[in-house]
Amino acid sequence: AILEAGKHLWCEKPMAPGFTEAEAMAEAAGKSGKVAALGYNYIQNPAIRHIGALLEEKIIGEVNHLRIEMDEDFMADPEAAFFWKHEAASGYGALDDFAVHPLSLIKVLFGRVGRVMCDMAKPYADRKVASGGRRAVETYDIASVLMHLENGIAGTLLVNRSAWGRKGRIAIQIFGSKGSILYDQERFNEFQLYLTADRPTEQGYRTILVAPHHKPYDAFVPAPGHGLGFNDLKIIECRELLLRLAGKPARIIDFDEGLEIERTVHAMARSFQEQRWVDVR
């Protein structure tokens, strides 16, 4: 309705609980000619941007394996009450609530996912309700996915909304023919780099602190090591949206790219339902 009214649109992820609705949103965006963007702010992190630049430079050679995880503990308490994210109408659970964020990072760093094999689990079968008694949980707080990316990289994706002790973790391990890169969002302003080009006597992971030369960190802080935060990423995302509105190149996930993420999520769910490998298409 917003797009049909001739307005630009910036909305949250995931696009919709159902793929048909997401398709309708993308179709409406295409017909409108307006900018339609999704709130995938983790791709804006200067650390993630620089990791992408290093991958393009092939500093760790040809990437052959990717592991990516997202964990939080806001559903870890078995005595927490039932709420709307436990309803099937909200989606599959951690798969579309959480996995879309790692998939946005995969999108900007590596490209498309080709094939998936997914398993999902419910750590707690039911939850208490305010009126008394308990109600069956209809969504899955845990998902584990095997992946093959279209560029040949093998990967795993693990997500958990009931992981005690994890507050905002997106952990990435990237393994290549000449080294590896590690990143953990709970250590938001740093990443680790291992290079086989180093002398054997000094080989090991080095910690790279985000600094003004990792753009656009310099727009916020003039000194290295002081650190950005989650809200700063939303500011960067807003600036990218304004760039797109001005007709300039911008780092955003638009509705077409968002639909590809949704397609991947629904392929994962279909894989779980059918207990087999599924092509993303």
- β-bridge mates for residue 194, sequence order: 180
Alpha-carbon distance 37 to 94, whole Å?
22
DSSP 228-257: --HHHHHHHHHHHHHHHHTTS----EEHHH
Q: Which CATH number among 3.40.50.720, 3.30.413.10, 3.40.109.10, 3.30.360.10 corresponds to the domain 41-237+254-275?
A: 3.30.360.10
What are the residue boundaries of the structural domains of the chain, listed by start?
41-237+254-275
User: How much of the chain, in percent, has pLDDT values that exceed 70?
Assistant: 100
Mean pLDDT of 113-121: 98
State pLDDT tens for residues 31-65: 999 999 999 999 999 999 999 999 999 999 999 99
Mean pLDDT of 11-27: 94
State pLDDT tens for residues 91-115: 999 999 999 999 999 999 999 999 9
Residue 106 · residue 274 · CB < 8 Å? no
CA torsion sign for 272, 278, 279, 281 is: negative
